[in-house]
Amino acid sequence: MRELAAQLLVNPNTVARVYRDLERDGLLETRRGTGTFVSSRAVSLAQGERRRLVSERLAQAARDIRAFGLSTEEAVELLREALGDRKEERKD
């Protein structure tokens, strides 16, 4: 913690407090004798947060799509293009 505090130019007590808070929130786990590690819970929390952020942005995009008068099909095609997943024309 002292090394990190020196790198960040902050008081070591500040680093200790942040570590304690992150451990309390389940994001870090301290293993005696080996160190402090990111918890497995942190990974699932991060995935949930990514989904939440994308969902918010998609909701805004949906409002824009409606405001611009685009159809659902046009919106889906634009999303496919943005993802690089354009539907190729199929010969039946």
Locus of tokens 């080996």: 34
Q: At residue 8, does pLDDT exceed 90?
A: yes
Of 7-11, 14-18, 44-48, 84-88, the one with minimum mean pLDDT is 84-88
- Tell me how far apart the alpha carbons of residues 4 and 17 are, in angstroms, rounded to a whole number: 13
Taking only the tens place, the pLDDT of each residue in 18-72 is 999 999 988 999 889 998 999 988 888 888 889 999 999 999 999 999 999 999 9
pLDDT of residue 86: 65
pTM: 0.53
pLDDT of residue 2: 86
pLDDT of residue 91: 47
Q: Where are the domains of the chain?
A: 2-38, 45-83
